[in-house]
Amino acid sequence: MDNLSDTLKKLKITAVDRTDDSLEGCLDCLLQALAQNNMETSEKIQGSGILQLFASLLVPQSSCTAKVANIIAEIAKNEFMRIPCVDAGLISPLVQLLNSKDQEVLLQTGRALGNICYDSHEGRSAVDQAGGAQIVIDHLRSLCSKTDPANEKLLTVFCGMLMNYSNENDSLQAQLINMGVIPTLVKLLGIHCQNAALTEMCLVAFGNLAELESSKEQFASTNIAEELVKLFKKQIDHDKREMVFEVLAPLAENDAIKLQLVEAGLVECLLEIVQQKVDSDKEEDIAELKTASDLMVLLLLGDESMQKLFEGGKGNVFQRVLSWIPSNNHQLQLAGALAIANFARNDGNCIHMVDNGIVEKLMDLLDRHVEDGNVTVQHAALSALRNLAIPVVNKAKMLSAGVTEAVLKFLKSEMPPVQFKLLGTLRMLIDAQAEAAEQLGKNVKLVERLVEWCEAKDHAGVMGESNRLLSALIRHSKSKDVIKTIVQSGGIKHLVTMATSEHVIMQNEALVALALIAALELGTAEKDLESAKLVQILHTLLADERSAPEIKYNSMVLICALMGSESLHKEVQDLAFLDVVSKLRSHENKSVAQQASLTEQRLAVES
């Protein structure tokens, strides 16, 4: 270290005289000291004030330039040295050196800039202001096709520099994307796929950039899908495959890229991994099985990619996914059920799957998870059943297969995601199915649970679905017994509150259900309607200019139906409904205007 102090003193003198031979000796000494103890040597360099001198030594024509850049690259490995490098004014001369024709100078300059940028806001800012990124991208473009080892080493350093420059910085990543870095990196990956270090660097860069929404379109216009699948097929090593996965997952969120990945044969690779890993209990194999099956499900979220893999229900992929559902592996059960839910996104697919026995497979799966079951599997299987129940022709088939009974086993679940899907499935099943709606509506346990969930203020989704199912039971059954069950269970106040929902569709469903209650069982529900302040709510809905036409129409139908009750009739008279209703006779919607005339006559006669 004493030797180092001498070297630093000597360097100060020779740096001024610029005698290249003695300068080179000093620089070699520094590099040796850095190799032995980087941290301590860096501290000494900082303390000596020599950093400022380095700026003057970074000149293109000097034979020592590459060594100076190398020293800067070495000291910048230490976090505490990065800001001093910026403050010493080293960035601008380093960026100038990027225009050099000397390969060693370029290599060491790229390393120095990359290390200064690592995790350093100040470093990145300085490189940004000096315009370093554009020069490096231009180099990548021009050197892209050369496959000699020295050139590949330089390309790797430049990729690493851009990565350190933009890592976790959205605005700098966006800048690189605008400079067109993505097509260049994709081309690099294609040409240099035999070079492990460069390939790895490209993957990490893709992983960073792919998180940015604006990158997806650029990626979609390249052959990234093909290159990644080609690379993926070659990887035997778990960690390497993991790296490719980390790029695939964010890219596969884009529908165009989903389709490209499917066409490039990614699905076959994923199915193979699942087959290889399914029986393993090694931690990394379990993790890889999850990643592969999750990615498979993600690919099915795109309409085109999903339909391509469905192949009319005859496709190999669809059949393999079906075989996951009865497996004993929870991860595969989950992925299988989610995949079915994704295949069930159009009527044709749903009808085909129900006709080919998928419902029984899903019910068997649910049955295995009733007691202390896996919540994610329950949720996924219910999602699939809900989607399958959407086409009208499937409802009766699913009801006769016993789906309601299978679903009702989860009424006791305390998990909001399961509750939410359970409610949605039942609501889909009873749509226009009077008998099923009546049967469910007379099920006291179910109705009491719905009333309880209508108060689940912490879970808006569960609360909304419970209200909608209560209303659906009445609307589709039109049954007095169902209404009586709902009144006895305390459900009326929730239907009245639902009429004030911010969602027009829910308001409307509530008003239609309340009109049926008033028409069929007004005497039974009278007290509850009164204490829930229904009449005041209807007055507000009719007076509010923002209420949708169908809300105004159904509110007036309901007012007429309430006239059969003495106490509610009196409330209607006290609130001067005639004024509000007569204004609606000139409403631009014909149905509203006609209903206003009828309601006005009814109110006039009754008063």
pLDDT at 430 over 60: yes
C-alpha 163/C-alpha 528 separation (Å) is 66
As assigned by CATH, the class of the 300-432 domain is mainly alpha
Q: Please state which CATH number belongs to domain 1-130.
A: 1.25.10.10
C-alpha 476/C-alpha 487 separation (Å) is 17
Helix (H) or strand (E) holding 337: helix 330-343
List of residues 6+ apart from 189 with CB closer than 8 A: 199, 202, 203, 224, 227, 228, 231
Residue range 101-105: mean pLDDT, rounded: 94
How does pLDDT run across 494-522, given as a tens digit for each residue? 999 999 999 999 999 999 999 999 999 99
CB-CB contact of 266 with 305 (8 Å): no
Residue range 243-250: mean pLDDT, rounded: 91
Q: Please report the pLDDT score of residue 315 as a whole number.
A: 83
Supply the mean pLDDT for the chain.
92
**Of 315 and 75, more confident:** 75
CA 308 to chain CA mean position, Å: 22
Q: Please report the pLDDT score of residue 93 as a whole number.
A: 96
C-alpha 289/C-alpha 306 separation (Å) is 20
pLDDT at 104 over 80: yes
How does pLDDT run across 189-223, given as a tens digit for each residue? 999 988 999 999 999 999 889 888 889 889 999 99
Q: Please report the pLDDT score of residue 20 as a whole number.
A: 63
The one-letter amino acid code at 13 reads: I
Task: Name the residue with tokens 């139906």.
Answer: 561
The one-letter amino acid code at 310 reads: F
Where b means 16+ CB within 10 Å and e means fewer, 542-580 reads beeeebebbbbbbbbbbbbbbbebeebbebbeebebeeb
C-alpha 71/C-alpha 67 separation (Å) is 6
What are the residue ranges spanned by the domains of the chain? 1-130, 300-432, 445-521, 533-606
pLDDT at 603 over 90: no
pLDDT at 1 over 60: no
Q: Please report the pLDDT score of residue 313 as a whole number.
A: 86
Phi, psi of 598 (to 5 degrees): -60, -45
Same fold, 1-130 and 300-432: yes
CB-CB contact of 177 with 190 (8 Å): no
C-alpha 554/C-alpha 84 separation (Å) is 74
Closest CA to 41 of 13, 4, 10: 4
CB-CB contact of 357 with 398 (8 Å): no
Q: Would you state the structure tokens that stand for residue 313, as one six-digit string?
A: 């229900």
How does pLDDT run across 14-61, given as a tens digit for each residue? 766 666 667 888 899 999 999 999 999 999 988 888 888 899 889 888
pLDDT at 605 over 90: no
Q: Please report the pLDDT score of residue 579 as a whole number.
A: 87
By three-state DSSP, how is residue 1 classified? coil
Q: Where are the alpha helices (DSSP H) in 344-374?
A: 347-355, 358-367
Q: Please report the pLDDT score of residue 23 as a whole number.
A: 84
Q: Please report the pLDDT score of residue 2 as a whole number.
A: 56
Which DSSP string do the residues of 183-208 spell out, in sequence order? HHHHHHHHHTTT-HHHHHHHHHHHHH
pTM score, two decimals? 0.82
Using the 8-state DSSP alphabet, how is residue 544 labeled?
A: -
Q: Please report the pLDDT score of residue 400 as a whole number.
A: 95
Q: How many CB atoms lie within 10 A of CB 234?
A: 12
C-alpha 487/C-alpha 513 separation (Å) is 12
Q: How many CB atoms lie within 10 A of CB 374?
A: 15
